[in-house]
């Protein structure tokens, strides 16, 4: 029952004080319930990946309604712009994605089909996290014959927590631009998050010291930013080309490489088929380690802090086996 309905109800109570007395308690309860309803969220945010949904929630809290277009067990390269997803984009105030061509196969279609002018490329309601981050693996020349190569560089920036800090600062400013009435709150939440995040980075860096210089194999070129942060050394990749499933002959060639350049572990993302990594693990005698890759990828990666806690715990445990 809304305010107008309550007032109309009171205006119709013209049959004596007894009638009013009997009806008033129910009407007062309705009015109190109306007053206790939560305020509408200031912004509706559609994130392309779970890590950015988690970051938006850290910076916006109850000021935002946040959802993710993908989950941790989906390949973010391979998503379809289904009607349900188009409907969410249509009502979004902010579409928050990685960029760097990670979503090039589906995001342009999603935005076009949504008909939402607020979130089109170049508008304040369109935010690409990778725009403000130093890119790795930027190709010298673009050749699609080399597989899923991104012209702007490797898009998997979320595996380095230092990048998360950079994105958080830019995102807080964008939220304040879109919702100036709550600009002070976004700024305060960003300062609080940054303080907690920098403390966590310091702790993770110390914790991960035994991994520096450790040789690893990757199933997909998904962790170059993680390696850059921790000083890990990637000696082989199971995919012959980015995004191309490994063949038996390529796996054999990787196995031969490891006889000359041994690795400590093989890493794969939670959304990937584990069989290539498990084959190498069995034949090379090294652990296959599943990393969450994003929030929700493993039971321990329930938020951004848990994401890095869990990834480091898994790598350190695997490294201790040798």
Tens digits of pLDDT across the chain (322 residues):
444 344 344 344 444 445 444 544 444 344 434 333 344 557 999 999 999 999 999 999 999 999 999 999 999 998 999 999 999 999 999 999 999 999 999 999 999 999 999 999 999 999 999 999 999 998 776 555 555 566 789 999 999 999 999 999 999 999 999 999 999 999 999 999 999 999 999 999 999 999 999 999 999 999 999 999 999 999 999 999 888 999 999 999 999 999 999 999 999 999 999 999 999 999 999 999 999 999 999 999 999 999 999 999 999 999 866 5
DSSP single-letter state for residue 313: H
Q: Does residue 198 sit in the same domain as residue 216?
A: no
188: left (phi over 0), alpha (psi -120 to 50) or beta: alpha
Distance CA 126, CA 92 (A): 10
Q: Does residue 227 sit in the same domain as residue 160?
A: no
Number of compact structural domains in the chain: 3
The answer to whether 101 and 153 have CB atoms below 8 angstroms apart is: no
Distance CA 20, CA 313 (A): 66
CA 98 to chain centre: 8
Whose tokens are 């013209």? That residue is: 14
Q: Does residue 217 sit in the same domain as residue 196?
A: no
Q: Which of 146, 172, 204 finishes a domain? A: 204
25 burial level (CB within 10 Å; 0-12, 13-18, 19+): exposed
Q: Does residue 102 sit in the same domain as residue 31?
A: no
pTM score, whole prediction: 0.84
CA angle, residues 214, 286, 227, in degrees to nearest 5: 30
Domain holding 229, by residue range, is 211-319
- How many secondary structure helices (H) and strands (E) does the chain include? 11, 8
CA angle, residues 269, 244, 74, in degrees to nearest 5: 40
Q: Does residue 193 sit in the same domain as residue 241?
A: no
Q: Does residue 270 sit in the same domain as residue 225?
A: yes
Backbone angles phi and psi of 288, in degrees to 5: -95, 125
Q: Which of 137, 172, 204 finishes a domain? A: 204
């Amino acid at each position: 029952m809304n305010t107008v309905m309550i007032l109309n109800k009171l205006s119709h109570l013209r049959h004596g004080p007894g009638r009013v007395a009997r009806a008033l308690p129910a009407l007062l309860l309705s009015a109190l319930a109306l007053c206790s309803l939560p305020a509408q969220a200031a912004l509706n945010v559609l994130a392309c990946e779970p890590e950015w949904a988690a970051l938006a929630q850290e910076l916006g809290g109850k000021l935002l309604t946040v959802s993710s277009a993908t989950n941790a067990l989906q390949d973010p390269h391979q998503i379809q712009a289904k009607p349900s997803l188009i409907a969410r984009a249509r009502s979004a105030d902010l579409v928050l994605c990685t960029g760097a061509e990670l979503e090039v196969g589906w995001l342009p279609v999603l935005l076009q089909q949504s008909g939402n002018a607020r979130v089109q490329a170049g508008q304040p309601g369109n935010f690409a996290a990778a725009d403000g981050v130093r890119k790795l693996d930027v190709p010298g020349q673009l050749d699609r014959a080399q597989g899923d190569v991104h012209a702007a560089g490797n898009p998997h920036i979320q595996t380095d927590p230092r990048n998360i800090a950079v994105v958080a600062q830019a995102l807080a400013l964008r939220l304040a631009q879109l919702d100036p009435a709550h600009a002070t709150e976004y700024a305060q939440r960003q300062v609080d998050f940054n303080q907690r995040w920098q403390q966590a980075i310091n702790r993770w860096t110390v914790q991960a010291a035994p991994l520096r210089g450790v040789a690893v194999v990757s199933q997909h070129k998904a962790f170059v930013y993680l390696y850059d942060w921790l000083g890990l050394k990637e000696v082989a990749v199971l995919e012959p080309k980015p995004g191309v499933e490994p063949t038996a002959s390529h796996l054999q060639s990787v196995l031969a490489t490891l006889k000359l350049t041994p690795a400590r572990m093989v890493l794969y993302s939670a959304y990937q088929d584990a069989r290539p990594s498990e084959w190498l693990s069995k034949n090379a005698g090294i652990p296959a380690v599943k990393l969450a890759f994003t929030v929700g990828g493993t039971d321990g990666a329930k938020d951004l802090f848990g994401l890095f806690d869990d990834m480091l715990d898994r790598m350190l445990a695997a490294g201790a086996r040798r």
